[in-house]
């Protein structure tokens, strides 16, 4: 039997798995079949690397590894809202009660109403605040990053964590194995010797070679002393403070939160930690007695491949379809599925102020060409498109009607909706939403608008790149 025959037999087997075992969306299925048979050798390698077929029982452990506080509390909250007896403490949470109830039901997201939120749009300012809080830690530090690098940002974090562990603070550091592949055991030696714990999420099993690009833990979470939480787009590396040889600057969005939602962010961390470390740590609610510092209402919404619900995607969709006046979106990638794409087009055609901002250059080339084609089409329907020119735009945000906003790790792409583990904070508060909108408008000063007329003038070679990339958009 020739090598070519064997290759085609393997392709047929892979095709059968895609159709009958993985049960992908039709567009993704057709894209994989095309790649397998047009590029039989290369396609098979890509399938091995990107395949969604995985040990599902492991992922199911992630979603059922602990019973969150939300069980009894969430049921009571749902019942109060159903009966009309729930006390909404700010007008925005009352106006967006449909979205709140949706995320209660669909994402098991409890609503807390006593949060104080600090918004960061500059990486250095956020890290300065983060380092101060870390150095002041007395009891515990739970930290989770998709990317950590052994540069001056990553090493300073490790130095602080090591010192706090020596002082008796319980330190847990959870890192995605692929995103942190540049880290070595020697970097964690001091932290571990001081009593800190370091665990990898989906580590490589053979010679540190990990061919699995999907199912990455893309979350960026930090909880200090059960009292302060950080959530957003920043990872632990120097490019996130604008020190990058590839990009001349970096624009991101991150939050510092105190209040009731700290418990929910920490619960998300503990579920991930238990899954990665094989433990069954349970949170003690008595440890979380938040100071009532603010009146921002927050729901913490998570999604990942262990769930078929795509909670964050449908949260975005609900925010877009519920908008009455404006929708402002920032994302490095704009590769949503048809439901999000059609909702944005419909909003623009309805006359809403739809504004979308993307970076001026890619960090993933194929994704960028699909992004450019998608925003070009949205411009055709009346959306205002901005290309951020002051470095790389990494923020993942949506602000609707100056009343509700989302900040977190999830991009507007299929990978974030279906393949990565993500967490966002959904905030209902006019003062915070206005700050988010003003930050967007400030970024417009560092951007250029892409009109549909300008987009139509793009060179033919760019059109070819867009068309080829679009064919693969469902597997990017």
Instruction: Give per-residue pLDDT as tens, 235-260.
Output: 999 999 999 888 889 999 999 999 99
SS3 303: strand
Measured CA to CA, the distance from residue 311 to residue 17 in angstroms comes to 26
Active site residue 73: no
268-295 per-position pLDDT tens digit: 999 999 999 988 888 887 788 776 679 9
Active site residue 187: no
Active site residue 103: no
217-227 per-position pLDDT tens digit: 999 999 999 99
Active site residue 364: no
Identified catalytic residue from 176, 252, 401, 429: 401
Task: Label residue 65 by pLDDT band (50, 70, 90).
Answer: very low
Identified catalytic residue from 95, 149, 220, 254: 220
126-159 per-position pLDDT tens digit: 999 999 999 999 999 999 999 999 999 999 999 9
Q: Where do we find the tokens 């002393």?
A: 225
**Domains of the chain with CATH codes:** 3-53 (no CATH), 60-70+115-297 (3.30.870.10), 311-475 (3.30.870.10)
Task: Label residue 54 by pLDDT band (50, 70, 90).
Answer: very low
Active site residue 446: no
Identified catalytic residue from 151, 225, 389, 446: 225
Q: Closest Cα to residue 175, out of 206, 204, 152?
A: 204
Identified catalytic residue from 95, 149, 396, 435: 396
Identified catalytic residue from 95, 149, 218, 313: 218
- The proportion of the chain whose per-residue pLDDT surpasses 70, expressed as a percent, equals 79
Active site residue 363: no
- Is 213:248 a contact under the CB 8 Å cutoff? no
Identified catalytic residue from 394, 402, 465, 474: 394
Angle (CA) 213 216 10, round 5°:
30
């Amino acid at each position: 039997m020739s090598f070519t025959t064997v290759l085609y037999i393997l392709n047929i087997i892979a095709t059968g798995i895609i159709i009958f075992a993985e049960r992908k969306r039709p567009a993704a299925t057709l894209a994989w079949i095309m790649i397998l048979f047009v590029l039989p050798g290369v396609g098979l390698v890509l399938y091995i690397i990107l395949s969604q077929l995985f040990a599902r029982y492991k992922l199911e452990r992630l979603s059922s590894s602990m019973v969150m506080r939300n069980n009894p509390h969430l049921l009571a909250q749902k019942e109060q809202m159903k009966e009309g007896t729930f006390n909404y403490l700010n007008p925005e949470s009352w106006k967006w009660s449909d979205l709140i109830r949706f995320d209660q039901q669909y994402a098991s997201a409890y609503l807390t109403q006593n949060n104080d939120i600090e918004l960061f749009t500059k990486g250095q300012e956020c890290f300065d605040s983060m380092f101060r809080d870390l150095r002041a830690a007395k009891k515990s530090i739970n930290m989770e990053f998709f990317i950590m690098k052994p540069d001056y940002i990553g090493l300073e974090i490790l130095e602080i964590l090591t010192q706090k562990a020596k002082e008796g603070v319980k330190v847990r550091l959870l890192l995605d194995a692929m995103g942190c592949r540049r880290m070595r055991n020697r970097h964690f030696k001091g932290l571990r010797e001081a009593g800190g714990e370091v665990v990898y999420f989906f580590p490589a099993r053979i010679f540190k070679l990990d061919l699995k690009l999907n199912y990455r833990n893309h979350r960026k979470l930090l909880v200090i002393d059960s009292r302060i939480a950080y959530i957003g787009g920043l990872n632990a590396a120097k490019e996130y403070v604008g020190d990058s040889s590839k990009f001349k600057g970096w624009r991101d969005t991150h939050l510092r939160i105190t209040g009731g939602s700290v418990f929910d962010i920490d619960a998300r961390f503990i579920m991930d930690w238990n899954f990665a470390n094989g433990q069954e740590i349970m949170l003690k609610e008595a440890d979380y007695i938040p100071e009532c510092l603010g009146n921002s209402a927050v729901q913490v919404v998570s999604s990942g491949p262990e769930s078929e619900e795509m909670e964050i995607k449908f949260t975005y969709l609900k925010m877009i379809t519920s908008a009455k006046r404006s929708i402002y979106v920032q994302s490095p990638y704009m590769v949503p599925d048809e439901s999000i794409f059609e909702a944005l087009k419909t909003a623009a055609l309805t006359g809403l102020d739809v504004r979308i901002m993307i970076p001026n250059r890619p960090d993933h080339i194929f994704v960028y060409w699909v992004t450019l084609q998608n925003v070009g089409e949205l411009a055709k329907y009346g959306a205002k498109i901005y290309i951020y020119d002051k470095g790389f735009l990494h923020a993942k945000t949506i602000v609707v009607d100056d009343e509700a906003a989302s900040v977190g790790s999830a991009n507007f792409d299929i990978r974030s909706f279906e393949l990565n583990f993500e967490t966002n904070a959904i905030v209902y508060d006019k003062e915070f939403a206005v700050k988010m909108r003003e930050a967007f408008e400030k970024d417009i000063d560092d951007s250029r608008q892409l009109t549909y007329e300008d987009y139509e003038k793009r060179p033919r070679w760019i059109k070819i790149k867009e068309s080829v990339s679009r064919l693969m958009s469902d597997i990017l």
